[in-house]
Amino acid sequence: MSSVKSIFKQIGPGLLYAGAAVGVSHLVQSTRAGAEFGFELIWIILIAHLVKYPFFLMGPLYADQTGHTILEGYRKQGKWALILFIFLTASTMFAVIAAISIVTGGLAEYLFNIGWSAQVWALIILVGCMLLLLFSGYSFLDKAMKWVVVVLSLATVITFIFALGASESTKEAVNAFDWSNTSNLFFLIAFFGWMPAPMDISIWHSVWRLEKNKSHLNPEKQSNLDFHIGYFGTAVLAFLFLGLGAFTLYGSGNELQAGGVAFSAQLIGVYTWLIGEWTLPIIGFAALATMFSTSITCLDAFPRSLAVAFQLFDTKLSRRINYRFLLVALTFGAGLILVFVLESMRQLVDFATTISFLTTPLLAFLNYKSFVVLKKETGYNLPKWLNLLSIGSLVFLAGFAVYFLVVRFF
């Protein structure tokens, strides 16, 4: 037990990764994939985890090898790499935070039933997360996220076991995935975009790793354990959420709702129907805590990584554009989207995840190139199998993105 407690105390960035990942991509997109196509898209989870694995690993690996975030590897490629990262992050972060917040707001209204809209709840949650981060920072995230992820994981495993019995019910109006159907294809792209998480998290992970190392210098072996617990743990949860959608909603004739509150009612209703109405407060709190963890983790990570990038790009500029300034700006920008742009939770989620899908090969390339530069400077080599997997994955990610653009515009 002392060994388990020691590991649990030392791990942190891996569960921060899980806290950021197990949100929209799992609660919304995985459940939706199972509800609409059964187990037909289970291969997307497998492929996404395989081809993105080397690039997610590179974040904490670079931090352990150099004592710097992987953004330092971007800087060594040239200022163009930092400019590209800043541009990609700035162009996606407002929509991403707005999408996460509206899902969280829908869960909050369903759970508390005050009569507020999901948008109002989302704005309150945004401001609340911002204030928590301004006054507490990384230490709060590191401590809170461990318990949130554990509670949701246990609740999901238990519900999945109950769902196995529900799978024997008669199914009607079964849909099959159709590659010639553009709406099916666009959902597949959106599903893949945040499975298991946006590629930005590989950069965030290297930043969190250095933050963790300030209080405890972890050996590389411990860092790898921390990473793999988070990475493969979220993979298992993705399968479970897809299974919940497939067992309980696929072929039932009930479509998942596009509105935040209505969707939340359906999602939590699956848990309570399978386990019992008495679990509503427990399941509702676990789901809300998970989405809140995703909200606060991503709201912290975007400005934190951008602040590092600005500092590497220009130290004078970084004094004016620092973490706190970027945090407030991100909160304000996401709030504007919620107030003036939002039409449908589903549309906003699909837009944010599709944009992330298109930026994935670019960020993956920058991560890989960072280790090419590191090899020239220090002689450090990625394991041969990891290097080959990285090259093959880059080809796949770039080809998939080009295919989508051709279908979408031509």
The per-residue pLDDT for range 77-124, each reduced to its tens digit, is: 998 999 999 998 988 889 889 888 888 888 888 888 888 888 899 999
Least confident of 224-233, 268-277, 313-322: 313-322
Distance CA 194, CA 184 (A): 16
Distance CA 337, CA 348 (A): 10
Give the domain ranges of the chain: 12-409
Structural tokens at position 134: 């301004």
Least confident of 254-263, 340-349, 381-390: 254-263
Long-range contacts of 159-166 (CB under 8 A, 24+ apart): 159/244, 159/270, 159/271, 159/274, 159/275, 159/283, 160/240, 160/243, 160/244, 162/274, 162/275, 163/243, 163/244, 163/247, 163/248, 163/270, 163/274, 164/247, 166/247, 166/248, 166/274
Under the banding of pLDDT at 50, 70 and 90, the label for residue 293 is: confident
One-letter amino acid for residue 149 of the chain = V
Cα 265 versus chain centre, distance = 22
Q: What is the CATH number of domain 12-409?
A: 1.20.1740.10
Residue 201 near residue 21 (C-beta atoms within 8 A): yes
Average pLDDT, the chain: 80
Residues above pLDDT 70, as percent of the chain: 79
Output the pLDDT for position 320. 61
Output the pLDDT for position 170. 45
| Interval 317-330 mean pLDDT | 81
One-letter amino acid for residue 144 of the chain = A
Question: Taking phi first (over 0 means left), then psi (-120 to 50 degrees means alpha), and beta for anything else, what does residue 38 get?
Answer: left
Query: Could you tell me which of 289, 304, 324, 295 has the C-alpha nearest to residue 144?
Result: 289
Q: In three state form, how does the secondary structure of 369-391 look?
A: HHHHHHHHHHCCCCCHHHHHHHH
| Interval 221-229 mean pLDDT | 71
Asked whether the bond before 13 is cis by omega within 30 degrees of 0, the reply is: no
The per-residue pLDDT for range 373-387, each reduced to its tens digit, is: 999 998 888 999 999
